[in-house]
Structure 1
Amino acid sequence: MATPIYEFAQIPRVDPAAKARARARRVRDAGQAPTVGVIYNPRSHRNLGADFDCGVCPHVHIAQPRERGQLPQALTEFAAKGIDLLVINGGDGTVRDVLTCGQAIFGDDWPAIAVLPKGKTNALTIDLGVPEDWGLQDAIEALDHGTRVYRRPITVARAEEPGSRVAGFILGAGAFTKSIQAGQSAHRLGAFNSMVVGVTGIWALLQSLFAGRGNAWRKGARMAIGLGTADAPMEHSGHGDPAMRQLLFASTLEKLPAGIKPFGALKNGLKLVAVDQIPRRTTALVPLVLMGKMKDGLRERGIHQVAATQFSLSIDDQFILDGEAFPPGDYRIEQGPELAFVAP
């Protein structure tokens, strides 16, 4: 369920004036098994060559869509069955695709969601506190006996096509795009999840410390960021070209891989950090910022940590949402509906 570039013309259109299809509802009796719908991505890293246990209980319905176009039908069937739990068996990219295609089906009335960490990257499950060996039966048991973690995904829409939206949890641009490319090399070397963050982080730091201003890691991308409904321009420190940002990173997650804290003390909701074309002296301090050890004077140094209800992004380079590249253009980034995720 992945292609190199996600074409916005292919995204299911969501008419803001239209209501999502009503999800069938039922009241479970005490001790009655829940109805479970499973989106199983056979191409996910940890699913390759593995058989899925379909005999957990008769109320488990499994769909194995081979491409994005098959997801809406699978989710529509789950909604008609009145599922109590939607299980996403795959990595962050599979989560992005399911949440994107599910918008027109569930709207603001989603069932509880469980995510099994089966991809190359599983940032969402790290935030949820889901162990790497979590299985389907664990998720089903957690529906009644586990905890709930509430998160709102990021939604991204072209400015000229507000009815077409993609949903995910981690957005980045500039040097972040280069990091994702480096991360693919790290995957080939056997590094995944938090290890990828460490490997690519060290490489990005070295590039920024020793490369010239024209190097892609330090140059970043030309972008304009407008905060809130008023599109208030994000301030600039004056370091480097004011039309450029070395890096942009945004997320609604509260705990990130490798324990990094790019947003400082900001925790809830939509958060973003933008880095100007900072000098090498400030670059050397970035590890302290990521560990939360340095908090004062960051804006003056060119590191901007902001919480926003929404923001606009005009960018002349690709940006990344949950591991996939999107084309340059003008976009509106907001928060989607609050979702209830099942955790141990």
Structure 2
Amino acid sequence: MPIRMPIDGSDGLIGRIDGGLARLTSAEFRVRRPAQTVRLDGRRLGGVQRIGVICNARAHRNLSRELSPFTSASGIDFAAPRTQEELHAVLARFASRGIDALLIDGGDGTIRDVITAATQHFGDAMPDIAVVPAGKTNALAIDLGIPTNWTIKAAIEAIHGPSRTQRSPVEIRRVDGREPMRVGFLFGAGAFVRATALAQETHRIGAFNGLAVGLSLAGGIAQTLFGGRDNVWRRGDPIRVELDDGRSVERPFYLLLASTLERLPLGLKPFGRPRPGMKLLGVDAPPKALFVSAPILVAGSEAGWLARAGYHRLDANRVGLTLDTGFVLDGETYAGGELIVAQGRALNFVVP
């Protein structure tokens, strides 16, 4: 269960295997796949006529007032659900009406909740998705090249145009099956959970988007560098990682990230060169030479010494994780456990 209510407006890995297994580099795990960013011609799809709009009225910088000229327009169905129950009811209605496009007005958390619920109602027949950034970080919008001043009117016009691009989400399943699959674009554990808590503090003082990311990153590094030997940031969290080929590792990780995004806020490149597919970063605990390594790592360097120093990158379609502490998915913190983290089916996104 999430530690906070989901709809609230807030918005390689293994370079060596312990336990006597062979020493491996992240390159050995790298999975080659075709590029997933494509341009589609909406007009060849017969044109888009039915649009469902979901607005989170409590999201930061919400733009819902722009909807008033469109609420009575033919083919546009507007809703502003405030609970999970209302969200599911709205999406069931959209699915029954056969919408061609789903416009989401909100931040990363709203997008996570809407797409997660939408997969339960649309299945493999997901509509095209348009995003109007109205959150605190808007990482998906940044990756898609959506301008911060994009309006609902502009998004509706783009829906009727030809430009589409694809992104595959990250799917999180619990092995025990007690909760539905969750869908997002940025998964993190270890220090990322604590950094997310710092980000919430920066939001309270009015820092958003890139500024919030920068302040949180700086705060996390400072906590790690200047904390004592037994500092919770430095000692990390015990995590078991299992690969599809049966190999696994279990040890304390300072940080674990997984994402299908190709561009991150502030131009950060923790996964190395931008590329499609699910990418992972694992940092051993305690992190070595963090003051030197961190800026080189987030700048996208793929220097071989990073892996030797405990900074591991991996491309994968699926990994199993077991962690006692929580994890974060697109800004929301959830309880840990046995998880399957996998690359999901590609979704079509409307772009300018």
Whether the TM-score (by the shorter chain) exceeds 0.5 is: yes
The CA deviation at 1:107 is: 1.1
Question: Residues 276 and 283 of structure 1: is their aligned pair in 2 closer, same or farther, counting only changes over 3 Å?
Answer: farther
Q: Does 1:222 align with 2:212?
A: no
Q: Does 1:328 align with 2:344?
A: no
Which of the numbers 171, 192, 195 marks the counterpart of 2:187?
171
The one-letter amino acid of 1:47's match is N
Task: Find the residue that maps to 1:289 and give its secondary structure.
Answer: helix
Between the two proteins, the alignment pairs up a number of residues equal to 314
The one-letter amino acid of 2:92's match is T
2:79 equivalent in structure 1 = 63
Stretches of structure 2 lacking an aligned partner (at least 5 in a row): 7-41
Stretches of structure 1 lacking an aligned partner (at least 5 in a row): 7-26, 235-241
TM-score by length of 2: 0.83
2:323 equivalent in structure 1 = 315
Question: Residues 29 and 153 of structure 1: is their aligned pair in 2 closer, same or farther, counting only changes over 3 Å?
Answer: closer
The CA deviation at 1:285 is: 1.8
1:51 equivalent in structure 2 = 65
Kindly report which structure 2 residues correspond to 1:23-34, keeping only aligned pairs within 5 A, or say none.
34=49
Which of the numbers 7, 18, 36 marks the counterpart of 2:51?
36
Describe the superposition over 1:223-257 as per-residue Cα deviations: whole angstroms up to 9, x where unpaired: 11112x234215xxxxxxx6200001110100001
The CA deviation at 1:332 is: 0.7
Give the distance between the partners of 1:34 and 1:219, measured in 2 at CA.
Answer: 54
Task: Find the residue that maps to 1:249 and give its secondary structure.
Answer: strand
Runs of 4+ aligned structure 1 residues displaced above 4 Å come to 27-33
Q: Does 1:141 align with 2:157?
A: yes
Give the distance between the partners of 1:4 and 1:86, measured in 2 at CA.
Answer: 25
Question: Residues 189 and 33 of structure 1: is their aligned pair in 2 closer, same or farther, counting only changes over 3 Å?
Answer: same
TM-score by length of 1: 0.85
2:136 equivalent in structure 1 = 120
The CA deviation at 1:288 is: 1.2
Give the distance between the partners of 1:338 and 1:276, measured in 2 at CA.
Answer: 31
Give the distance between the partners of 1:243 and 1:32, measured in 2 at CA.
Answer: 52
The one-letter amino acid of 2:217's match is G
Larger RCO, structure (CA 8 Å, separation 6 or more): 2
Question: Residues 104 and 206 of structure 1: is their aligned pair in 2 closer, same or farther, counting only changes over 3 Å?
Answer: same
The Cα RMSD (Å) is 2.3
1:244 equivalent in structure 2 = 252
2:36 equivalent in structure 1 = none
Q: Does 1:233 align with 2:248?
A: yes
2:37 equivalent in structure 1 = none
The CA deviation at 1:63 is: 1.0
Task: Find the residue that maps to 2:218 and give its secondary structure.
Answer: helix
